[in-house]
Amino acid sequence: MMKIKYKKKRRKSHKLYGQKYRGYGQVGRHRHHPGGRGRAGSKDHIKIHLEKEGYVFGAGKGFTRHGIKREWGILNIGRILELAAEGRIPVSGEKERLTIDLSHMKYLKILGRGKVDRPVRIILDKTSSISESAKNKIESVGGELIYKE
C-alpha cells in the first residue's frame, strides 16, 4: 500500500518571519483595540452576555483566599444532651453526673439553646469553643468544662 505524504501547513508565526511586527502595525504592535478588556463592549458586543441569566460582569476579580477554610460544627447544649440520652454520643459516669466526651470533634462551637437540668461534665478539644450562655447554663447546675490537648 502506498503512503501519501501531505505537505505540512506552516503556522502563521512561521509565515510571518522577517516581518518585524507580524502584521499588527508599527504603532500599535498588537497592544491597542482592547475589545475584551475591562468594560469594553458592555454596550455593544458583550451586551449579549450581560443579558444572560446568571452572568456576572467582572466576576472572579478580587482576592483569593489561600490556606484552609475550616468548617465549624455548631451544636446547641440541649441537642448534645438529647444525643447523649439516645446513645449517639459517647457518655460515661453515673446518672446523676454525666461525662460527655466531645474531644474527637474538632472545631466545634457549642451554643446555649436548650435546657440543662443536671450536672454535666463536657470534655472538649482545645480547638472547640463555647458561648457564654451555654457556659453559664452548665456551671449554674454544677457542671464543668474540660479542654483536652
Q: Is the pLDDT of residue 60 over 80?
A: no
Asked whether the CA dihedral 132, 137, 138, 142 is positive or negative, the reply is positive
Nearest to 145 by CA among 93, 114, 110, 95: 110
Q: What's the CA gap between 51 and 53, in Å, rounded?
A: 6
CB 121 within 8 A of CB 99: yes
82 to each of 30, 76, 77, 121, how far by Cα in Å?
Answer: 69, 10, 9, 15
| Architecture of the domain delimited by 73-148 | Ribosomal Protein L15; Chain: K; domain 2 (3.100)
Contact predicate 75/110, CB 8 Å = yes
Distance, in Å, from the CA atom of 128 to the CA atom of 110, rounded to the nearest integer, reads: 8
Written as nine digits, the cell of 42 is 458592555
pLDDT for the residue 135 = 94
pLDDT value, residue 136: 95
Residues in the chain, total? 149
pLDDT at 49: 82
Looking at per-residue pLDDT, the higher value among 53 and 88 belongs to 88
pLDDT given at position 123:
92
In this predicted structure, the answer to whether residue 113 has a pLDDT above a threshold of 90 is yes
Of the two residues 55 and 77, the one the predictor is more confident about is 77
Residue 84 has, within 13 A of its CA and on its CB side, a CA count of: 23
Kindly report the pTM of this predicted structure.
Answer: 0.55
Q: Is the per-residue pLDDT at 29 higher than 80?
A: yes
Domain ranges of the chain: 73-148
Query: In whole numbers, what is the pLDDT of the chain averaged over residues?
Result: 87
Cell numbers for 122, please give them.
Answer: 463536657
